[in-house]
Structure 1
Amino acid sequence: MQMVRFAAVDGFELSGSLYGDASAAQAALLIVPAMGVSQRYYAEFADWLATQGFVVFSFDYRGMGASRPTALKKSLKGLDADVVTWAEKDTAAALAWLDAQVGPQMQIHWLGHSLGGQIFGLVPNRERISRMVTVGTGSGYWLQNSPRLRNYVWWLWYFVTPVALPLFGYFPGKALKKVGDLPHGVMAQWRRWCLHRDYLMSEPGTSWRERYAAIRTPILSLSFTDDEFMSAQNTASLHGFYANAPREMRRIAPADLGVQRIGHFGFFRKHFAQTLWPQVPQWLAN
């Protein structure tokens, strides 16, 4: 693994990790992270994929993980970013950086965890992607959330966030033990989406619904019956935005694998290297 620094579209310095050898790889894959999740969380999976013939690039959005500037270590107050910034400026730059390493002849695939599968349609250079895998990706609309999440998320959206954002100037999720530290704009925008049935399509003044409907990139959706965040309805709703893309929806129960739990984050744990992980390279090879 090689740690790299690269510039976002607007020049903001970001951090990424490159796994595998581009000169020997059969294809490339970009890992696009979930909300509040560091690229480090995907390291074992990325390293394994490199042994399967892929060159893999993971990264942190601005303000997250290794892309959090030293001056903002104590507080993200003042960091100007929302989810669209992460998509249009950060993820687009990560894809462009990987493209420059592998060249135009090599296919690049996308693996989006949760938020990483939601924002594909917002990334301007998304046409460079040959295939997309989503893991635990669904709409954040709170009334469609799993019962476990719905029982307390109203408190987050109607009390905690409206109090915390003006008080701290960012969302201090680490201290609150909720999601993680997030820039003010990210949390405010995400809250708006999660309170609306149409989720990100509710953003005013956009043509995002048409943009997503125009996508033809083949999609494999991996979702889990015990996901504590995303219900089957959340999953179906979000992937419905990709209305004209070929979609294969796999909903997996822990019992299918002889385990007690997978959940929203379990896919990337090493004990699924023999069961869940091979589904990605096998589908990408078809």
Structure 2
Amino acid sequence: MQPCVLTSTGGAPVAARFHAPPGAVRGAVVIGGAMGVKQDYYAHFAQWLSEQGYLVASFDYRGMGDSQRGSLRRLRADLFDWTDDFDTVIAEALARSGGAPLYLIGHSLGAQLPGLLKHRDRVDGLLSVAAGSGYWRDNAPQLRRMVLYFWHVLVPVATRLFGYFPGRKLRKVGDLPAGVVMQWRRWCMNPRYHVGAEGAPVREKFEAARFPVVALSITDDELMTERGTQVLVDCYANAPRRVERIAPADVQARRIGHFGFFRDQFQSSLWQRALTQLQAFRSPGETRDPADGISSRVAPGLLTAH
């Protein structure tokens, strides 16, 4: 594992870790983390995936985890800035991988941002894990019981008082920059999430995405419903896409939930499923040659569009 600090838009430091494979690079994978989750959480999965032949990168969005420099009160950042951080890591992964296919594994927020990427034309596939629209009516029933208090009282009041959202003190999500949490709040109030809240500029970027999207929806996810997952997937309106449901019983487990996919116990089941999907993103006869940089693409017919 090679840690490094990259420089994103405006000179913001982005701490990343690159896990190199033992032999030839089969592809590059960038892991986009969930809101408030440090890249440490994905370390074992990233190492395992690198052992399967992939150059794997994880990172912390600016102001988070190893990327934090100073107080969050002074950090001016929103979710567009975090997308730039994602792009910065992708650019480095592309440079290190020698033209190998590039895949994204997005956990929750990490699958909500790729439609905004500058490098979306270089992406060969997005595997979405436990991700969906954050629109409050699409939340799981147990979350809907308190989410309006969260968005209308707790978030605006606490953010104004502290200058950032003190999620660690409140045991909600985690500490977040004010610009991030308030923009996220606005997205979560709109039935079409970010493409609805931000209007045509964001909607058109998602519609321009052509990389295939496979979304793994967890039946006991306490945050994301199947409907919310479908709403998010359909933001990638012109991409080949599908939703696959996974129940704990499918992998002989009592629970998976929103965060369980990346736990070591699922190495031989869910992790293997992720590996199989990365391999499936490459269609026969359309491979990227590291010598010439030609990009591969999965033909739309290989995935069912909803």
TM-score (norm. length: structure 2): 0.89
Pair 1:54–1:204, CA change in 2 (3 A): closer
Task: Quote the Cα distance in structure 2 between the aligned partners of 1:199 and 1:172.
Answer: 23
Unaligned runs of 5+ in 1: none
Tell me, yes or no, if structure 1 residue 138 matches structure 2 residue 132: yes
Quote how far apart the aligned CAs of 1:101 are: 1.1
Could you tell me whether the CA contact under 8 Å between 2:22 and 2:53 is conserved in 1? no
1:30 maps to a residue whose letter is V
Aligned partner (choices 96, 99, 109) of residue 94 of structure 2: 99
Could you tell me whether the CA contact under 8 Å between 1:139 and 1:235 is conserved in 2? yes
1:42 maps to a residue whose letter is Y
Aligned partner (choices 75, 82, 91) of residue 78 of structure 2: 82
Task: Quote the Cα distance in structure 2 between the aligned partners of 1:85 and 1:202.
Answer: 19
Task: Quote the Cα distance in structure 2 between the aligned partners of 1:27 and 1:227.
Answer: 29
Aligned partner (choices 147, 151, 157) of residue 153 of structure 1: 147
Give matches, 1:1-286, under 5 Å.
1-21=1-21, 24-69=24-69, 71-72=70-71, 76-87=72-83, 89-103=84-98, 105-204=99-198, 206-286=200-280
For residues 168-192 of structure 1, give each alpha carbon's deviation from its aligned partner in whole angstroms, at most 9, with x where no partner exists: 1100000110000000000000001
Pair 1:61–1:68, CA change in 2 (3 A): same
Task: Quote the Cα distance in structure 1 between the aligned partners of 2:22 and 2:268.
Answer: 25
Pair 1:188–1:26, CA change in 2 (3 A): same
Quote how far apart the aligned CAs of 1:55 are: 0.8
Quote how far apart the aligned CAs of 1:23 are: 6.3
Task: Quote the Cα distance in structure 2 between the aligned partners of 1:192 and 1:203.
Answer: 7
Q: Residue 58 of structure 1 aligns to a residue in which SS?
A: strand
Task: Count residues in correspondence.
Answer: 280
Task: Quote the Cα distance in structure 2 between the aligned partners of 1:45 and 1:193.
Answer: 30
Q: Residue 128 of structure 2 aligns to a residue in which SS?
A: strand
Quote how far apart the aligned CAs of 1:16 are: 0.6
Quote how far apart the aligned CAs of 1:210 are: 2.2
Task: Quote the Cα distance in structure 1 between the aligned partners of 2:193 and 2:95.
Answer: 33
Q: Residue 112 of structure 1 aligns to a residue in which SS?
A: strand
Task: Quote the Cα distance in structure 2 between the aligned partners of 1:167 and 1:85.
Answer: 23
Task: Quote the Cα distance in structure 1 between the aligned partners of 2:62 and 2:179.
Answer: 12
Q: Residue 109 of structure 1 aligns to a residue in which SS?
A: strand
Q: Residue 37 of structure 1 aligns to a residue in which SS?
A: coil
Task: Quote the Cα distance in structure 2 between the aligned partners of 1:35 and 1:20.
Answer: 26
Task: Quote the Cα distance in structure 2 between the aligned partners of 1:204 and 1:31.
Answer: 25
Could you tell me whether the CA contact under 8 Å between 1:135 and 1:222 is conserved in 2? yes
Task: Quote the Cα distance in structure 1 between the aligned partners of 2:36 and 2:94.
Answer: 25
Task: Quote the Cα distance in structure 2 between the aligned partners of 1:126 and 1:102.
Answer: 17
Could you tell me whether the CA contact under 8 Å between 1:228 and 1:264 is conserved in 2? yes
For residues 108-146 of structure 1, give each alpha carbon's deviation from its aligned partner in whole angstroms, at most 9, with x where no partner exists: 111110001001111111211111100011000001100
Could you tell me whether the CA contact under 8 Å between 1:22 and 1:101 is conserved in 2? no
For residues 30-54 of structure 1, give each alpha carbon's deviation from its aligned partner in whole angstroms, at most 9, with x where no partner exists: 0011100100000010011011111
Q: Residue 62 of structure 2 aligns to a residue in which SS?
A: coil
Task: Quote the Cα distance in structure 1 between the aligned partners of 2:259 and 2:199.
Answer: 33
2:77 maps to a residue whose letter is A
Task: Quote the Cα distance in structure 1 between the aligned partners of 2:184 and 2:102.
Answer: 28
Q: Residue 151 of structure 1 aligns to a residue in which SS?
A: helix
1:239 maps to a residue whose letter is V
Quote how far apart the aligned CAs of 1:204 are: 4.0
Task: Quote the Cα distance in structure 2 between the aligned partners of 1:55 and 1:37.
Answer: 21
Q: Residue 34 of structure 1 aligns to a residue in which SS?
A: coil
Q: Residue 278 of structure 1 aligns to a residue in which SS?
A: helix
1:162 maps to a residue whose letter is P
Aligned-CA RMSD value: 1.3
Unaligned runs of 5+ in 2: 281-306
TM-score (norm. length: structure 1): 0.95
Could you tell me whether the CA contact under 8 Å between 2:196 and 2:203 is conserved in 1? no
179-188 or 218-227, which moves further after superposition?
A: 218-227
